[in-house]
Structure 1
Amino acid sequence: MNRRKFIRNSAVGAFGVAGAGALAAPAIAQSLPKVQWRCTSSFPKSLDTIYGGAEDLAKYVREATDGNFDIQVFAAGEIVPGLQAADAVTDGTVQMCHTASYYYVGKDPTYALGATVPFTLNARGLHAWLYYGEGITLLNEYFNGQGLQYMPGGNTGTQMGGWFRKEINTVADLNGLKMRIAGLAGQAMQKLGVVPQQIAGGDIYPSLEKGVIDAAEWIGPYDDEKLGFVKVAPYYYYPGWWEGSLALCFFTNKDEYDALPDAYKSLLATAARASTIEMLAEYDYKNPTALKTLVQQGAQLRPFSQEIMQASFDATQEVYAEINGQNEAFKKIYDSMVAFRNDTYLWQQVGEYTFDTFMMIKQREGALVPQQGG
């Protein structure tokens, strides 16, 4: 696909000019005002896939407007620390940030619903709810009240369960474990005896190496290989039940967003959706090779036991019950999400699960090899 043409055409359509199909895109771009924004990321440049989501959006917007709408992206720490990205948007330091909204659950648990919460949706289900269900609308009802405009801005797919310095076989093995874990998962893990820690991506390795923490979850094989966790915590658990998928997001300052021409608002949404597709595809492409490399480097793959999975599920339901009982904003969005969760897993077990299971059996049999012609 010619991305420049695709995104430019979206801007033309949003501009609503009669006969726009016959009007050259550069003329449209030149008729729009010059806007310069700064976007701070919660991620370092070294994590090229997740950091790259913001660079992708900036590139698409810049190309579609011939540079009239220019967004400059800054890595975590260049303007503010990664975990303060959303604060920099609300206080007007920058116009936009690229982050994971669950980093800010300390403000309100509702923030987590813009990213992911445990035992809910995989990437396909989350995208369906966000784009075709009530997701984005309900989230912006809340985030607009915080001075923010929300747009999904990437997805990692289902994540791994993290790196542990020792084996974890039973719920009792979790007691007293200091673990880097973000969002509401930390509250659920706390009920199982874990001491949750919120640490930015670039600081996880030294914390593991020095024994400040005993375990850490990040994303998945591609990023985890880059960060070198296998050198200091060899047991690699799965699945990351707290992140059946993770939606990254772009937060924009609501006042700055409202001041944009409608064409730019539409273009931002289109570019954000494009960067979401790009990120998920990139992780899906890179993770298989990285996983094989990690195993060669000594990673010991371990599934969480059914005891731990069930205890984690039960603890998570307790967390939801506590929050829903006192937070109406959270409950409204959560209820919409889990209502759709029932439907999407009903469908996925009919189509996706049966096909995927058969193909995985073939993969284990070594049958998925190219067929040679006669």
Structure 2
Amino acid sequence: MFNLKTVAMGTAALALMASAALAETVIRVQSVIPAQADEVHMLQEFANDVAELTDGEVKFEILPAGAVVGVQETLDAVDSGLIEGGFAWTHYWSGKHPAAMLFGSPVAGAGVGIDNIAFLSWFQYGGGKELYDQLWDEMGMNVKGFMLQPVGPEALGWFKEPIASMDDFRKYRFRTPPGIPGQTYKDIGVASVAMGGGDILPALEKGTIDAAEWCCPKPDSVFGFQKVLKHYYLQGLHQVVVNADLYINKDVYDSLTPLQQKAIEVAANASLSKAMSYRIYENGKALKDLTENHGVILHDTPADYFPAYMAAAKTALETNAADNEFFAKVWQSQKDFADIAVPFWAGAQASNAALGKAHADSLK
């Protein structure tokens, strides 16, 4: 039987569904790394949080590296609106502005002892976030950035044979990150070779390079370094702090409601904690697997590496600060923070390190 009330209710429901569909915002985010990477797994967790917090009004669609543009064009594509979002490490864009390194990978803990946890303290409460927002204006990028995934400290790397000193280290052609961290290796006499992550293992197999670093036990094992190199050194200074970030086209971000913007901010802050927690456990499992099942031998980094690298890193930081006003402003903020926070945090961490080492030694 024809029922006007039923038809009206059905029409209203369809209208609500159409309205909801129209209100949905889909932000395509192209990553600079393959879809199977841990970083993309954690990025998807962030995307899921945003979708739930906004009741499905804002959704992130994660695209793998190269889906729309090349890796090096990712930020420009976000700026122009070709893609709505991008995911990378901000130091990738050091060619656009040298201060990008101070947010994505401040070499040697910014030369003032800032580790990955202290870095988050600077970013969230020491003035770092305000400077980070200013970075995009300094670059001339129409972008809103969010830090999502702190990592660190990254391992020194993988070697064919044990290295007992810097003299041994200097015998090898060594894959390093681009920019100041890699240049600092050159400054201390290491034959530094910068290349993308996907090129490292083939270069090792061909003998183009003899040693390499990428990240930490889990990502390194996914890349398969253990297939060609067996000597692994955890302690390095080149990337004590590393952050993977989300970039959203500013026009797209400004089109969101204040509540939707707050949901992204809250999910990003949650991601900072979740990513760090995830990394600790995953890297622990990977290191155990590497040493127990793949013949990997874990070594302590030679003592003469640390003063050599730290001195060269400080020189590089001073040079860049002298050449660029905004770089100097950001680095000064980090130094002012470190003068207050690092004496406490370093002392506390010494206890934590001794506690952890006692347990680790008991397992040997």
Same fold (TM > 0.5) = yes
Residue matched to 1:292: 288
SS in 1 for 2:28: strand
Q: Which whole-Å CA distance do the structure 1 matches of 2:315 and 2:151 have between them?
A: 26
CA distance in 1, matches of 2:70, 2:120: 28
Aligned twin of 1:228 = 224
Q: Secondary structure at the match of 1:351?
A: helix
Q: Which residue number in structure 1 is paired with residue 129 of structure 2? A: 136
Q: Distance in 1 between the 2:352 and 2:46 partners?
A: 34
28, 32, 44: which one aligns with 1:42: 32
Aligned to 1:284, the other structure's residue is in SS state: helix
1:13-51 deviation line (CA, Å, top 9, x unaligned) = xxxxxxxxxxxxx9xx9699321211011121222x211
**Counterpart in 1 of 2:267?**
271
Structure 1: distance between partners of 2:203 and 2:73: 20
Partner of 1:173: 168
Residue 250 (structure 1) aligned with residue 243 (structure 2): no
- The answer for the alignment partner of 2:306 in structure 1 is 309
Q: CA RMSD in A?
A: 2.4
1:366 deviates by: 5.5
Rounded Cα–Cα distance in structure 1 between residues aligned with 2:36 and 2:160: 24
CA drift of 1:129 comes to: 0.7
List per-residue Cα deviations over 1:43-68 (Å, max 9, x = no partner).
21222x21123212221122222322
Cα drift, residue 361 of structure 1: 1.9
Deviation string, structure 1 residues 119-154 (Cα, Å, up to 9, x no partner): 212121011111111111111112133322221111
Residues in 2 aligned to 1:323 and 1:42: alpha-carbon distance in whole angstroms: 26
- Contact kept, 8 Å, 1:98 with 1:153, in 2: the verdict is no
User: What CA deviation, in whole Å up to 9, does each residue of 1:250-273 have, x standing for no partner?
Assistant: 112223222322222211111112
User: Is the aligned partner of 1:111 residue 2:100?
Assistant: yes
Residue of structure 2 equivalent to 1:77 = 66
Check conservation: 2:291, 2:297, Cα contact below 8 A. Answer: yes
Q: TM-score, normalised by structure 2?
A: 0.86
- Name the counterpart of 2:201: 205
Please say which of residues 31-40 and 86-95 is displaced more in the overlay.
31-40
Structure 2 counterparts to residues 27-106 of structure 1, below 5 A? 33-47=23-37, 49-106=38-95
**How far apart are residue 76 of structure 1 and its match?**
1.2
Structure 2 unaligned runs (5+)? Answer: 1-15
Does the CA contact (< 8 Å) of 1:83 and 1:200 recur in 2?
no
What is aligned with 2:5? none
Q: Alpha carbons of 1:366 and 1:239: their partners in 2 closer, same or farther (altered >3 Å)?
A: closer
1:156–1:32 distance in 2 versus 1, CA, 3 Å: farther
The offset of 1:181, in angstroms, is 1.6
* Contact preservation (8 Å) 1:154, 1:279: yes
Letter in structure 1 aligned against 2:123: L
Q: What is the letter of the counterpart of residue 301 of structure 1?
A: L
CA distance in 2, matches of 1:204, 1:323: 28
**Contact 1:95 1:253 (C-alpha < 8 Å) held by counterparts:** yes
Q: Distance in 1 between matches of 2:254 and 2:355?
A: 49
Tell me the secondary structure at the aligned position of residue 180 of structure 1: strand
Residues 355 and 142 of structure 1, relative CA distance in 2, 3 Å threshold: closer
Structure 2 CA distance for partners of 1:209 and 1:326, relative to 1, 3 Å: same
Q: CA deviation at 1:320?
A: 0.8
In 2, the alpha carbon distance for the partners of 1:130 and 1:211 equals 40
Residues 44 and 75, structure 1, Cα contact 8 Å, conserved in 2: yes
Match of 2:158 in 1: 163
Between the two proteins, the alignment pairs up a number of residues equal to: 340
Which deviations, in whole Å up to 9, do the C-alpha atoms of 1:45-96 show, x marking residues without a partner?
A: 222x211232122211222223221211101122233343222212322111
Secondary structure of residue in 2 paired with 1:37? strand
**Cα deviation digits, residues 298-338 of structure 1 (max 9, x gap):** 22222221212111111111111110110111111111112
Question: Does the 8 Å CA contact 2:54/2:263 hold for their aligned counterparts?
Answer: no
Structure 1 equivalent of residue 345 of structure 2? 348
Alignment CA distance shift 1:112-1:211 (3 Å):
same
- Cross-structure match for 1:262: 258
- Unpaired segments of 5 or more residues in structure 1? 1-25, 368-374
Contact 2:118 2:345 in 1 (8 A): no
